[in-house]
Amino acid sequence: MKKKIIAGIILLLLIAGGFAGWKLFGPATTTAGGEFFYIRTGSTYSDIKEGLVSKKYINSSNWFDLASKFLRYKKVKPGRYKITKGMSLVKLVRMLRAGNQSQVNFVITKIRTKEDFARKAGKQFEPDSLQIISFLNNMDSLSDYGLDTNTVTAVMMPLTYTLDWNSSPEQIFQNCFSAYKRFWTKERLAKADSLNLTRMEVITLASIVEEETLKKTDKPLMASVYLNRIRVGMPLQADPTIKFAMKDFALKRILSTHLKTVSPYNTYLNRGIPPGPICTPAIETIDAVLDAPRTDYLYFVASSKFDGSSVFTTNLTDHSKYAREYQQELTRRMDSAKKVNPK
């Protein structure tokens, strides 16, 4: 009889142990609430339990508590954690305990203002856009990098940055600044020196070229035009700088009234290079400035072929001729469109 009782107890213990093992090491999570679980800075252990249950990653917190106690999980580490379907509680707790979060791939393509950067970063990281723009507007913070509120966007290179979700505004910016420093190799610095330009001036010129054309083959020639205008003391007279000065990037035509906009970015009123970039230029555009060919071009205008290319000239007479051809073709196309789609 005793043997049967002992055998029964052992069996019960084995069943209980197997059940506990299955609960702790078996599949326990779902992904009904999304793929990533976010733990904000300052969160408590109770916040994590409630969050896991409310997002339906786990059914209840009882076994999670047991796994946490077993693995001595006490210190909460903020971050962005990837929870996969069927993950065990032990694996989940180990991930949270170790702080093995999934980093964010922050992709910068083309942005025009530091406010655009703040909005974009605020959607992907824990700090919101207000916290980020506050850092970017803080002269005390920027001066440590040799920057100001006009030049700060120059270091936001169009690259992919991999960072922790809970990175601070300064950590996000520091990552960009490090990439910026790596970009400026000795070879590129030597090219900038040969043009008598600083790194900031090169990037600012490249930003204007970037806004002027998408055609890769035209970028070096366009850069040569602006470099020639600088050499002869001619205003850059770049239409994209007017749009930037007015903060109206949807503007289709630049009128004479627009050219009177008072701003250090108005390259019709001010000679020389603006105080900072008007967008984040592609790396190929920066290199187009650094490798700009020696030409005599002082003017360019969009081609009347409307193929995205430009016509480059050395004198105002030829420039005016091609500009008229472009305007005539533009008018013709607009008239044709009205006939096809009359209001």
| pLDDT of the residue at 89 | 83
Phi and psi at residue 106, to the nearest 5° = -95, 110
Q: pLDDT tier at 57 (50, 70, 90 boundaries)?
A: confident
Of the listed ranges 56-65, 89-98, 204-213, 239-248, the least confidently predicted one is 56-65
Contact 170, 135 (CB under 8 A): yes
Q: Quick one: which of 198, 194, 181, 189 has its CA closest to 273? A: 198
Please report the pLDDT score of residue 218 as a whole number: 95
The pLDDT of residue 330 is above 90: no
pLDDT of residue 90: 84
Span 22-98 CATH architecture:
2-Layer Sandwich (3.30)
Q: Where in the chain is the domain with CATH 3.30.1490.480?
A: 22-98
Query: Is the CB of residue 211 less than 8 Å from the CB of residue 290?
Result: no
Q: Is it the case that residue 220 has pLDDT exceeding 90?
A: yes
Residue 72: strand, helix, or coil? coil
Whether the predicted pLDDT of 7 surpasses 90: no
Calculate the dihedral angle through the C-alpha atoms of 99, 107, 153, 233, rounding to the nearest 10 degrees: 150
Q: Is the pLDDT of residue 60 over 90?
A: no
Q: What is the C-alpha separation between 181 and 164, in angstroms, rounded?
A: 21
Type of residue at 281: P
DSSP state of 102: P
- Residues found in the chain: 343
Instruction: For residue 202, name the pLDDT band (cuts at 50, 70, 90).
Output: very high
- DSSP letter at 297? -
Q: Is residue 326 pLDDT above 50, yes or no?
A: yes
Residue 77 has pLDDT above 70, yes or no: yes
What pLDDT, on the 0 to 100 scale, is given for residue 18?
47
- Chain segment 250-299, per-residue pLDDT in tens: 887 888 899 999 999 999 999 999 999 999 999 999 999 999 999 999 99
Q: For residue 332, what pLDDT is reported?
A: 84
What is the helix (H) or strand (E) element at residue 259, kind and residue range? none
